[in-house]
Amino acid sequence: MPKLVLAIGGNSLIPDKEHQSVQDQYAATDETSDHIAGLIEQGWDVAVSHGNGPQVGFILRRSELASNELHEIPLDYAGADTQGAIGYMLQQNMYNDFAARGIDKSVATVVTQVEVDPDDPAFKVPSKPIGSFMDEEEAFKRRDEEGWDIKEDAGRGWRRVVASPQPMRIIELDVIKGLLAAGVVTVAVGGGGIPVVTNEDGKLEGIAAVIDKDLASALLAIQVEADVLLISTAVEQVALNFGTPEEEWIDQMTLAEVKGYLEEGTHFAEGSMAPKMRAVVQFLEGGGKEALITNPVNLERAMAGETGTRIVQ
């Protein structure tokens, strides 16, 4: 059967600020899960990755509020926690959807470590904000006592920032491949994977960093030899000149066109579409056949060629 890697954004599990509870996230996961079941009915073997930015933020905030009574949670552990929790929601919802549709499939979540290079240039310029806002006194105290990198955020307060290094190696790759080969729907590299490095003793250890979820998904798609990388985001299609009078929704682009638009630097915002397009480039240059970008409710229609933005060699 053809293989598909589906990358779900962490924000897609939280529709808006009024729907952030675990129950709200479960309901949003239920909707996405139903569309995943539809993809499986179309004949795809599916690996699912997901973002976790908001969920990690919630865990870190709870940890900060409880720090007078309990130890605080390191960033890599927060990533592992979210992999388990979001994987649980996906597993349960897909189990129920499969039962309702008569699909004979199992689902498993792999808590996934992703190795990064400790000498990655990103560690010299940490830029990814995590955790809650702090006043200046608290921020500098954390910097001095715990070695945090801190940054003032547009007059709103101070935040911790960490590096976003390139993913190099998926530690549990053989496990993921084995599950997919057995026909198991596999949830993996959640949140881009738990960042780890190899220390001087040759042992893995966690590191405070955030790996881009879409880049990790592209790496996964290349290494499991997926036919398609499908990135689920907030919009049905990719647009050029987004949000301007010249806005143009795109049905299909070539790899060369995407690289050209990225070089121009005006069409894809760094906080939203640019990382996704770079992941698409990585996947296609790594041997992938095609990539698709659309929103959760249109996953099946996009795969059927009815909507979404398709990027081809």
Phi, psi of 262 (to 5 degrees): -65, -40
Q: Which of 190, 276, 295, 308 is catalytic?
A: 276
With H, G, I as helix, E, B as strand and everything else as coil, classify residue 83. helix
Please tell me the distance from the alpha carbon of residue 196 to that of residue 154, in angstroms, as a whole number.
31
Q: Does 17 participate in catalysis according to the annotation? A: no
The token pair at 74 is 């390191």
Q: Does 276 participate in catalysis according to the annotation? A: yes
* Residue 163: CB atoms within 10 Å: 22
Which is nearest to 183 in space by CA: 62, 60, 2, 34? 2
64-90: string of b/e by CB count within 10 Å (b at 16+)? eeeeeeeeebebbebbbbbbebbbebb
Q: Which of 79, 93, 191, 213 is catalytic?
A: 213
Q: Does 10 participate in catalysis according to the annotation? A: yes
Q: Does 11 participate in catalysis according to the annotation? A: yes
Q: Which of 128, 141, 177, 259 is catalytic?
A: 128
Place of tokens 């659309």: 294
Q: How far is CA 189 from the centre of its chain?
A: 8
With H, G, I as helix, E, B as strand and everything else as coil, classify residue 185. strand
DSSP state of 301: H
Q: Which of 3, 11, 105, 177 is catalytic?
A: 11
Which residues, including other chains, have CB under 8 Å from residue 128's CB and lie 6 or more apart?
161, 162, 163, 164, 209, 210
107-124: string of b/e by CB count within 10 Å (b at 16+)? bebbbbbbbbeeebebbe
Please tell me the distance from the alpha carbon of residue 74 to that of residue 9, in angstroms, as a whole number.
22
The token pair at 27 is 């309901």
Catalytic (active-site) positions: 10-11, 128, 213, 276
